[in-house]
Amino acid sequence: MRVRIAHLHEQPQHIESVARMIYEEFWREVEGGLSQQFLIDHLRSATDPRRIPLSLVALGEEDRDAPVLGTVNLIENDDSRRAHLRPWLAAMVVAEGWRGQGIGSWLVQALLDEARAMSLPRLYFGTDGPGFYTRLGAQLHEQVSDKFCIMRFELGG
């Protein structure tokens, strides 16, 4: 299957399924966490590809009804305890049946390209899977716990 990366605002029919994907992956089991409606509203606000917030999706095939294979987002901040760190790569998730096929790497690289086009000097993010991001050039910023760290991409902007 051919995969293409697109701005979510150009594919508004997928906003709800992207919000559901993010919610299920990151927020469903978090008491007091973000709601699916909050995510929908936030994704709808990502309408300018030259500004934050920005949302990218990986889609299969070339038609309007192509399935969403994954998403990655650029937001101002994803950690109120580290408000000075900005902006953030956030909510990178690939649909379960499509993991391990390079889609996550394509999404991250596409987001890094978008961030460079905005002349951003770096991106921060939190992860429990640093190996994936290290292979893409990310560096450890802070080891928060045994299972979680803050990392960054230096973009040279």
Q: Is the dihedral of CA 29, 35, 36, 39 positive or negative?
A: negative
Contact 3, 60 (CB under 8 A): yes
| pLDDT for the residue numbered 64 | 62
The CATH number of residue 23's host domain is 3.40.630.30
Domain hosting residue 77, numbered range: 3-112
Contact 138, 152 (CB under 8 A): yes
Quick check: is 35 in a domain?
yes
Contact 70, 58 (CB under 8 A): yes
Overall domain count for the chain: 1
Parts of the chain with a pLDDT under 50 = none
CA distances from 55 to 16, 19, 123, 145 (A): 13, 11, 15, 28
| pLDDT for the residue numbered 66 | 74
Quick check: is 153 in a domain?
no
